[in-house]
Amino acid sequence: MIKAVLSALLVLVALSSTFGKYIPKTGRRTPQTLSRGWGDQLIWAQTYEEALYWSRSRNKPLMVIFHLKDCPHSQALKKTLSDDVEIQRALDEDFIILNLMYETTDKHLSPDGQYVPRIIFVDPSMTVRADITGRYANRMYAYEPSDIKILMDNMKKAKKLLKSEL
């Protein structure tokens, strides 16, 4: 009985929310999120220009994640990063964040090439922190799930702003 009521309720909710709205031929889609699974509770910038503007105006370092949907390394890092409450809190409170699936035209964001996953920090002074690297000599800005401690340390480095270091 309860099951039937629940089903009827679900159908009603579904109907009422789609009535008169456009539905693609291929069926209803889940709306795309800006987080793309890297932290649904965080506030993501949409573009690099936007992220730079936020970083400057709020005086917070920017962390840019380059990734691809079909890349298993990206997926593995995404799972680790989004499940880590400590990192998520730090990102939410102390960073401006941006995740991109397409490269920008700014070559400073690919100091040693375009690959994924790749994490680049940018200082609020708009200087790319090419000095903040992971542990792979051939892909200096790559991180694996097991490198999460290194990433955390690098986030701490990025929080020491260049201006305050002078």
Q: What is the DSSP letter of 44?
A: B
Considering the complex, what minimum distance in angstroms separates the CB of residue 105 from a copy of itself?
6
In the complex, least distance from residue 146 CB atom to a copy of itself, rounded to whole angstroms: 20
Stretch that binds a copy of itself, among 62-70, 87-95, 133-141, 144-152 (CB under 8 A): 87-95
**Amino acid (one-letter) located at 14:** A
Given the rule CB under 8 A, which of 95-103, 123-131, 138-146, 157-165 is the region that contacts a copy of itself?
Answer: 95-103
Does the protein bind a copy of itself through residue 127 (CB under 8 A)? no
Q: Rule CB under 8 A: is residue 146 a binding residue for a copy of itself?
A: no
| DSSP assignment of 150-164 | HHHHHHHHHHS-HHH
Q: Determine, following the binding rule CB under 8 A, whether residue 136 of this chain makes contact with a copy of itself.
A: no
Q: Which of 63, 69, 71, 57 is nearest to 43 (CA)?
A: 63
Q: Calculate the CA dihedral of residues 77, 84, 57, 62 and round it to 10 degrees.
A: -30
CB 101 to a copy of itself: min, Å:
7
Phi/psi region, residue 113 (left: phi>0; alpha: psi -120 to 50; beta: rest), is left
44 binds a copy of itself (CB under 8 A): yes
Which residue among 15, 16, 19, 20 contacts a copy of itself (CB under 8 A)? Answer: 20
Nearer to a copy of itself, 109 or 119 (CB): 109
Residue with tokens 């999460």: 148
